[in-house]
Structure 1
């Protein structure tokens, strides 16, 4: 365990708050569920018992794994506008005033929280922080030798995830003035020595000086599920994105940048931009504008501002719903987790009861979280560094892509991932159009989130500023730098058994030996991301059960804490037209509303993130 070097006990008060006020019965139930999970595993139980176990696991996590970094010393917190009546019914650009009693909670440029106690979040000192070398971890354990597909889902899974990440989290571009320096072995072909990696930007709201507490970091985006990737995280950006007419957003011309005359604003100049992200962004700009058209029919006297604000609420909630009841069940398609994710939105009574009777209980288990009461579980809401760490899923991205016609499945182009990134994304869009692009993604597979499946292109990634980076090595280093525990300690903190040795960590004997060599035989040194990629996955899972524990906690927390998805998920705030739009819309509905030519491909699937039928066989 990593201890506070100053001998203090930071986090004790936060732990006490996180434990909340659960009744003795609930604590007993949660502890019993934890024991069953450790002994048998939720995934090995019949669905009803598996659900009951996961409910208890989540209760334990809510009580023991939410920690507030906002109690650390603070100065120079971002300004917020004065309270106004419109805050009752509108999301602000920066995420402030979601909680009216704590208006700064979850706003842009506020701190990431934690899912492990403060004493576990001190980064290791040098040289331990760089041991083993992140570059050697990348080369020995992450390099893709042969693409391993995730056959149960389609490649829209990968583009959707990055679309979500752009809403949720950003640590900024990093500071190069005092970078990390990774020494390289003589046989390493990397062109520059040593490998230089920018440090994560420091928390500017922490006073200078030694307060003895672990470092904290700022989320550049709003922590709320508010579609800030479409609407911006500040008012100036939001105004630039709006058309100023009928509540609508600007639609990129010919799939190009919204800011052709301002390269500083062009998203293609930000690392991580590619055609998959462009597709999702364009799709939900169109969806926002379609919502505006519907609202203007219903409310012809509404102003541009009224139409925009309601459409934003509706679009953001729709995106949250698609992620909850479609994307997540597709990537963790075990029968128990599929039921659990639908229950987060509709409750165990199900969609039909919800649709015809609405909420019939205040209990979130029966009637779902959405439309219920907000609950922060004793800790102000924030996304966490551990949440960021487990969402590092670059293996989802293939290196080779085929683009095909939605009309007859004929091959249009073979391309490498490099040809889909940065400004090339606009070229691919202009060449093929969104109908064929969505068809091509829907009929292709992403990669499995596992060892030896990291995209080669991202191991030799040239940033828009010309700097060359191995993103696999950067992923490993970032998790260490941000004080997220290594794999075994992470499992302990989430109330799971640690791996006793390399053979119990993975069921692949070749991987076990590679892990032993890379980590010098010390199982406690295995990096979190490596362990997540190496461990056996439950049935239907595209990623690990350990990562799933953070999702169990945080996926519901993003709904529980958000006023606009709980008490204010009402006709008075959304309009009944808006609630009906959300209720009656799926990812398939969105796709067909804007690209009806896809009907033949998607009619074969119940979930738009499952593999589509080829045009030649889907008629």
Structure 2
């Protein structure tokens, strides 16, 4: 096990001494051999490591400290004089990003469209405003009638289970209804005054809602204490000049302008020739099919981390009716028509589907997403609401509002609530948040309401709940005089920093690759602070990211999950039997087998092949032998949000705009491009999600080019636009240099070791499989998997 103990880097290749022990010395010799290759450049200078840590100028650093560089060394090739199967990193390997502004120009500018708008008739405007208010009243009346007619989602159906995966916060409901009224008023202005789509969608943004009778619909601006060292619960006040950037229940933004059919609100539904776009289920059934193609490098942790992150910064929910019942768009399996149809319905026709139609389903329920207004509060096209904070700030653990956060805390010692066996707390509202009751279990509670969605997600939530309480107890022991609030906030601050470090040090380089990390200037630093905060960068979720590109994780999902016991035995379960129900993890002793799958089970490769558990059995319940189709929902959601097309995104990401289907074969395999040509009438009609997930992965990264472009942009925003990012210096929330060095010792492997029930060993790079001798499992008490030393927080002023 050459790298199983430590990676010892020399200050000078000629002066390596066995100061770190025999095993480490052998490691140093390997690195030295690699450096002597004709393309080698892996040195203490290029990797960002410093000399002087040990005799002979040698520093011992756990391999997780250089996860990005090590992964490049592990590329499969053979160089003369080097170990077979080991390849030197390219000579372009860059040092850590630190210079202010590095890569800032690679971040997309906001999508703005300048439209000339002549003065509008005030009387006509006033009538349109009143119509918008009337539409809101009419919506309430429609919902009351539907309820009386028993047209709402029935318990036990897949659509009901889909809805009950999440809850909608009261602030989100208010924001949506206010934005709905303004959007409808915008539609009436456009129709009544015969405006063009561009004038209605973008020209009307010049009119301030606050100067109209709809002014009470506008959101307020929070009051901020910019000297506070702790993040707010709702993500506000991060940016001194734009205090609502990143706040929960605010709208997403866009890379490219919205493509609504009417310019304001109607979903994208037409091909370039004016005919209807192809049915999402037809696209999914012909292109996004199920093929078992496991990845040879990466563990299921890669997928699970992506979902956990997604539930930290993005949740665009769809609404319920005013009385809390779900909106039914497919009563008795048929599409609702006339007075039985809710205005937010956008169902998917499955009448001719080979799988669903024989099972009595000719319609798949789909409800349009909720809306929100910008703080500037203007008319114009609708924008979707993000119910979570937009930051990587642990809101999936702590909640996205102060009320949610308080509900999760014990109020003593800075601790979060737990239930028996140190598990997640039981959800106090057992009125149907999950499907556990159908299987003899109870719903669990966390910072994000989707915690019960599937076993792996519930497990990773459990690990991070325990990590918070572990850190809180240690801090309280070091600082007995600290009150509950101080312990909680300090522990939260440390845990969020660990999440950010693991994301940018271990996980993100796998997703986007080293070239994009360098291009955006988001490589982690190994020592010292970064000073690249840019208050002009808005980190709010891009609609193209949250609605399409970051859904790449759906292709990585395994439908058959393998659970690994401590005695080496393996059992399997089907994902379809565990949606939205924590009955498995609620059984004593089941946490560790699920967590072991994080490090021993491979993900599926990034490709257009999707497990049937997601395409035919999503949210299947005990009463049904079929479920919904996540791929169809993804495609329909992109149209609902008026996302730009694949060809549009190719162009903005620097690829040539395709003029025919042959033109996309530079990124998409020819066979898949031919399948796309059989479904779509024009290359300009291809949905972004479909085109992006069909691309070949780029060299060194997991994703294809356009998804990579959008994902890289978003994570650059999440670092550079975050005033509380963990390695920033000179901010009220900055750690001391000693504390920051301890944060850098955190790793995904350490989180698993510290917070599982009884896992004794794990590979140091836990996102990577153990199929090389560089990354074999080692004991959790080994210094190779270090633990941040919280002594650095003794005596900290809270």
The TM-score, its normalising length taken from structure 2, stands at 0.61
Match of 2:745 in 1: 584
Match of 2:123 in 1: none
Match of 2:531 in 1: 372
Match of 1:304 in 2: 484
Secondary structure in structure 2 of the residue aligned to 1:263: coil
The reply on whether 1:410 has 2:575 as its aligned counterpart is no
Match of 1:510 in 2: 671
CA distance in 2, matches of 1:527, 1:331: 22
The CA deviation at 1:471 is 1.5
Aligned match of 1:564 in 724, 740, 744?
A: 724
Contact 2:726 2:735 in 1 (8 A): no
Aligned match of 1:180 in 342, 346, 350?
A: 346
Unaligned ranges ≥5, structure 2: 1-88, 114-201, 210-214, 321-326, 328-341, 434-442, 779-798
How does 1:599-614 map onto structure 2 within 5 Å? 599-602=760-763, 605=764, 607-612=765-770
Q: Which moved more, 1:576-585 or 1:61-70?
A: 61-70
The CA deviation at 1:514 is 1.4
CA offset digits 1:72-105 (Å, max 9, x no partner): 85553445664447x6112111111112333222
Decide whether aligned partners of structure 1 residues 345 and 338 sit closer, same or farther in structure 2, where only a CA change above 3 A counts: closer
Q: Which moved more, 1:565-574 or 1:219-228?
A: 565-574
CA offset digits 1:497-555 (Å, max 9, x no partner): 233443443453432321111113x2111111111122222124332121111122221
Contact 1:256 1:426 in 2 (8 A): no
The CA deviation at 1:318 is 1.3
The CA deviation at 1:588 is 1.4
CA distance in 2, matches of 1:66, 1:51: 31
Secondary structure in structure 1 of the residue aligned to 2:551: coil
Match of 2:277 in 1: 131
The TM-score, its normalising length taken from structure 1, stands at 0.77
Bigger Rg over Cα: 2
CA distance in 2, matches of 1:427, 1:552: 35
> Superposition RMSD on alpha carbons, in Å?
3.7
CA distance in 2, matches of 1:567, 1:441: 27
Aligned match of 2:255 in 112, 115, 138?
A: 115
Match of 2:592 in 1: 435
Secondary structure in structure 2 of the residue aligned to 1:244: coil
CA distance in 2, matches of 1:316, 1:189: 44
Contact 1:130 1:477 in 2 (8 A): no
Aligned match of 2:500 in 314, 320, 324?
A: 320
Secondary structure in structure 1 of the residue aligned to 2:346: strand
Decide whether aligned partners of structure 1 residues 109 and 188 sit closer, same or farther in structure 2, where only a CA change above 3 A counts: same
Unaligned ranges ≥5, structure 1: 1-45, 360-370
The reply on whether 1:231 has 2:398 as its aligned counterpart is yes
Secondary structure in structure 2 of the residue aligned to 1:170: coil
The CA deviation at 1:438 is 1.5
Q: How many residues align?
A: 539
CA offset digits 1:87-131 (Å, max 9, x no partner): 611211111111233322221111111112457995665454961
Contact 1:505 1:534 in 2 (8 A): no
Decide whether aligned partners of structure 1 residues 403 and 130 sit closer, same or farther in structure 2, where only a CA change above 3 A counts: farther
How does 1:87-486 map onto structure 2 within 5 Å? 88-117=228-257, 122=263, 125-128=268-271, 131-144=277-290, 146-174=291-319, 176=327, 177-178=342-343, 179-184=345-350, 186-190=352-356, 191-203=360-372, 211=379, 213-254=380-421, 258-264=425-431, 266=443, 270=450, 273-332=453-512, 334-337=513-516, 344-347=522-525, 351=526, 354=527, 358-359=528-529, 371-377=530-536, 380-388=538-546, 389-393=548-552, 394-405=554-565, 407-411=566-570, 413-423=571-581, 425-462=582-619, 468-486=627-645
CA distance in 1, matches of 2:208, 2:716: 29
Which structure is richer in relative contact order (CA contacts within 8 A, separation 6 or more)? 1
Secondary structure in structure 2 of the residue aligned to 1:198: coil
The CA deviation at 1:236 is 1.4
Decide whether aligned partners of structure 1 residues 536 and 436 sit closer, same or farther in structure 2, where only a CA change above 3 A counts: same
The CA deviation at 1:165 is 0.8
Contact 1:537 1:544 in 2 (8 A): yes
Decide whether aligned partners of structure 1 residues 559 and 297 sit closer, same or farther in structure 2, where only a CA change above 3 A counts: same
CA offset digits 1:116-169 (Å, max 9, x no partner): 24579956654549611111011111121x212222110111111111111111
